[in-house]
Structure 1
Amino acid sequence: MKIPFNQFSFSIIDPNTDISGFECDNPDLNDFLYTDAIHYQEERLAVTRLIHLQNNVVGYFTLVSDSIEVAAIHSDDGNFEYPYRRYPALKIARLATDSHYQKQGIGRAMLLKTMQIAIVLSGYIGVRILTVDSKHDSVEFYEKFGFKRATRKNHETISLYRDFHRTLCDIQDKREESDITKY
Structure 2
Amino acid sequence: MLTGDALDLVRDFDCNASDESDFEKLNHFLKNKALEYNNDSFSRTNIYSRDGICVAYYSLSMNAIKGKKIDVEDEYRTLKSYPALFLTRFAIDKRYQRSGIGKAIINDIIYNAYRNREVAARFLFVDANPRSVSWYLGNPLFTIMYIDLTERMETCIESQIIKELNNRMIKGHGIDYVQKNDEQSNTLKLEWEKILIRHVNEIFNEIADDCCLIKECHAKVKLFIEDNKPKIELNNFNIKDNHKLIREWLGNRDNLLKLDITIPLYLDINKYYKAVFTDSPKRF
TM-score, structure 2 length as denominator?
A: 0.53
CA contact (8 A) 2:143 2:267 kept: yes
In structure 1, what is the equivalent of residue 102 of structure 2? 107
In structure 1, what is the equivalent of residue 271 of structure 2? 166
1:59-74, aligned counterparts within 5 Å? 59-73=56-70
In structure 1, what is the equivalent of residue 26 of structure 2? 29
Per residue, is there more strand in 1 or in 2? 1
CA contact (8 A) 1:63 1:94 kept: yes
CA contact (8 A) 2:110 2:272 kept: no
Q: Structure 1 residues 114, 139: closer, same or farther in 2, change over 3 A?
A: same
Q: Structure 1 residues 42, 136: closer, same or farther in 2, change over 3 A?
A: same
1:1-183, aligned counterparts within 5 Å? 12-17=1-6, 18=8, 19-25=10-16, 26-73=23-70, 77-82=71-76, 83-121=78-116, 123-145=117-139, 146-150=141-145, 151-153=147-149, 154=152, 155-169=260-274
- Residue 152 of structure 1 aligns with an amino acid whose one-letter code is D
- Structure 2: how far apart are the matches of 1:78 and 1:43? 33
Unaligned regions of 5+ residues in structure 2, if any? Answer: 17-22, 153-259, 280-284
Deviation at 1:55, TM superposition (A): 2.0
Deviation at 1:116, TM superposition (A): 1.5
Deviation at 1:169, TM superposition (A): 4.7
Percentage of identical aligned residues: 28
CA contact (8 A) 2:58 2:87 kept: yes
Q: Specify the SS of the correspondent of 2:118.
A: coil
Deviation at 1:61, TM superposition (A): 0.3
- Residue 161 of structure 1 aligns with an amino acid whose one-letter code is Y
Deviation at 1:68, TM superposition (A): 0.7
TM-score, structure 1 length as denominator?
A: 0.80
- Residue 148 of structure 2 aligns with an amino acid whose one-letter code is R
Per residue, is there more helix in 1 or in 2? 2
- Post-superposition CA distance 1:136-179 (Å, at most 9, x none): 1111111122211012133520100001212345568x98xxxx
- Structure 2: how far apart are the matches of 1:110 and 1:159? 19
- Post-superposition CA distance 1:93-146 (Å, at most 9, x none): 10000011111012112211111221123x222210011000011111111222
Q: Specify the SS of the correspondent of 2:261.
A: coil
- Residue 118 of structure 1 aligns with an amino acid whose one-letter code is A
Deviation at 1:16, TM superposition (A): 1.7
Unaligned regions of 5+ residues in structure 1, if any? Answer: 1-11, 176-183
CA contact (8 A) 1:64 1:92 kept: yes
Q: How many residues are matched?
A: 159
Tell me how large the CA RMSD over aligned residues is: 1.9
- Residue 16 of structure 1 aligns with an amino acid whose one-letter code is D
